[in-house]
Structure 1
């Protein structure tokens, strides 16, 4: 079954490339990240508006989806263990498929699932994550999602060694948690925060089908492999674990891991939904992506020797 998590997109010079969701977990020793912003002061209590009937129906649906996935042993949160070993060769192969390919391409004014080779793309400037909620998202979800994003931002900073932090406003990586009617009315705000975004990318957000759980766009304005902005859309109707899985995959993919691979395991960058949260394997992918020996804009051919060298450093003499 094709994953309903949606991947990251990239828009360059006004054009957008989109990708879908997945999830992962683990921390690499010996890597110290930048200090994160202090925890913002407590916010005033929010009395949300009531969600509409479409949102209520979706909440019931996604609760059943999560229950079904858990019953099948999916959405694992353990990060991988002895049952899912991987070698340096596998890690290097997975990195090339996930970081140096895109899952979506523009065709006929639409974004379609069609994998194509791409160059290495990542952030060079500090990543400042802000979270924004639709008026019908309740206070308990807001509190949980802020805490999840704050912890995850700190973890990503440690793993990558890149400045990544949570901010209370004005972020360049904006995460929107929206219920159904809010997302469908999101077009004007999307055009405001992303001037020049393509109509295909707008439609991908506004007309998200029910089996798309969340998505992320990232902008490469000079087409140089350097992101300067990202926007993630997460359904407010999801139960807690699915919302956390969306946060993990979309934010990680918005850092530059924009594709999936059926061979990647243990990984959230796999359509099989086995893992719900960032894994040890996925942390290693991020460490490779932000290694100083790699440069934005590199092709797979240019990057491959470095990728294998870093994979060897991470995993030693595994085959």
Structure 2
């Protein structure tokens, strides 16, 4: 399930880097003309995982035999045969190409026999698209979600409180429905497609300890990674089948990994310690809706304290610091800056967390722009654009490019700034959605530019 509260929209806190945008007298660049065409990413295979097979084996078992809630699963379940996918409701134009690209990747990289069929054809997986408000009236905390043994919204409504949609009772999957909003940005629709289709097919758990996966509620990765494709390829290996227990799968898994991921054999790296429930509760409070800002910041501080007390030096400590940084932007900018810098040091130490580092770099670039340091802002933006592109995060990419354009303007390079801003707007139409939202984001970032405010 993709949680609204944990979705890392790239610009949410930018205005807090200095004064609120409404208080800034600067003049934003004119966007009275039509925006450029929407950009999209080409289909490309993901980089293979870099961690050891011993770590990946433990991750596979923990993903496959436990729910997000912590409930254990006695056996693994999957589709035993070809998988047909249909789309119903009112899908936006971007869904078709993005779903086709994802299905192509699942066939090629995960080896799954999956195809799309017409909306009126029988299918193992139904993707129903609806207004976000309708979806969240029933499941307020979810941006999108997946349910078993149903093929549509009305059927789900009738049985949603019954054992019929209890994943722990499944042995073999035959019907699954994915519910996602159609009136959000193309990127959010695509992100939901990747996460929910992966869970409809495979593991149902999300784990904060994973640095290179969409099966992680930090939501830094927005498209299926090389690790995710390996997990799904393992999940549908002919040696495994529905109904197998954890012990049975654990016995077969090392041989499967040696064959499918030989680069991971003999690599150093022990599995990470499990994530404690008190840390999860702290981080969910920090990033959840319906809680006051001071309480959320206190919860983020508690998450940092717990992570350090557990001796974690991985992405969980970095994410705690990142959350603390975001929640401290408006009232405590010095604390925010220190938290971002510490998070950045952890993310920079691992090849799997380059996209995480790019999020930190975006905030630091915004700080530099607001502080009247356009050269530093330019360097930070340039240093993270490649990771945002490789991670296919259009919202983050557009934000970095807009910061770069403002820095170039401040450095008296208006021609380059115009060109970069046009590129940013194209990505913004995919990442932010409506033209009004693209213009609003552009104005927010322009307002950070100390040279423009002066």
Describe the superposition over 1:258-313 as per-residue Cα deviations: whole angstroms up to 9, x where unpaired: 11122222100011111000000000001110011112111110110211211222
Normalized per residue, the structure richer in strand is 1
Query: Which of 259, 280, 288 is matched with 1:313 structurally?
Result: 259
Given the two structures, how large is their TM-score scaled by the length of structure 1? 0.61
Specify the SS of the correspondent of 1:101.
coil
Following superposition of structure 1 onto structure 2, how do residues 289-304 of structure 1 map, counting pairs within 5 Å? 289-304=235-250
Distance 1:182 1:206, change over 3 A: closer
Describe the superposition over 1:172-228 as per-residue Cα deviations: whole angstroms up to 9, x where unpaired: 211011103554xxxxxxxxxxxxxxxxxxxxx75121x411100123989562111
Describe the superposition over 1:76-131 as per-residue Cα deviations: whole angstroms up to 9, x where unpaired: x998769x83111111111111112222xxxxxxxxx3432331111013211111
Distance 1:176 1:146, change over 3 A: same
Which whole-Å CA distance do the structure 2 matches of 1:164 and 1:318 have between them? Answer: 33
Find runs of 4+ consecutive structure 1 residues off by over 4 angstroms. Answer: 77-82, 220-224
Partner of 1:144: 94
Distance 1:70 1:237, change over 3 A: farther
Aligned-pair RMSD on alpha carbons? 3.4
Q: Is 292-301 or 257-266 further displaced after alignment? A: 257-266
Partner of 2:50: 85
Contact kept? 1:149, 1:247, Cα under 8 Å: yes
Following superposition of structure 1 onto structure 2, how do residues 234-249 of structure 1 map, counting pairs within 5 Å? 234-249=180-195
Partner of 2:3: 4
How far 1:144 moved relative to its partner?
1.2
Which whole-Å CA distance do the structure 2 matches of 1:67 and 1:79 have between them? Answer: 28
Partner of 1:219: 149
Given the two structures, how large is their TM-score scaled by the length of structure 2? 0.44
Partner of 1:54: none
Following superposition of structure 1 onto structure 2, how do residues 175-190 of structure 1 map, counting pairs within 5 Å? 175-183=127-135
Which whole-Å CA distance do the structure 2 matches of 1:69 and 1:245 have between them? Answer: 21
Contact kept? 1:5, 1:246, Cα under 8 Å: no
Query: Which of 222, 225, 230 is matched with 1:284 structurally?
Result: 230
Query: Which of 47, 56, 60 is matched with 1:95 structurally?
Result: 60
Contact kept? 1:3, 1:272, Cα under 8 Å: no
Normalized per residue, the structure richer in helix is 2
Larger Rg: 2
Distance 1:79 1:159, change over 3 A: closer
1:158 aligns with 2:108: yes
Tell me: higher relative CO, structure 1 or 2? Use CA pairs within 8 A at least 6 residues apart.
1
Distance 1:67 1:235, change over 3 A: farther
Unpaired runs of 5+ residues, structure 1, are 7-21, 23-61, 72-76, 104-112, 184-204
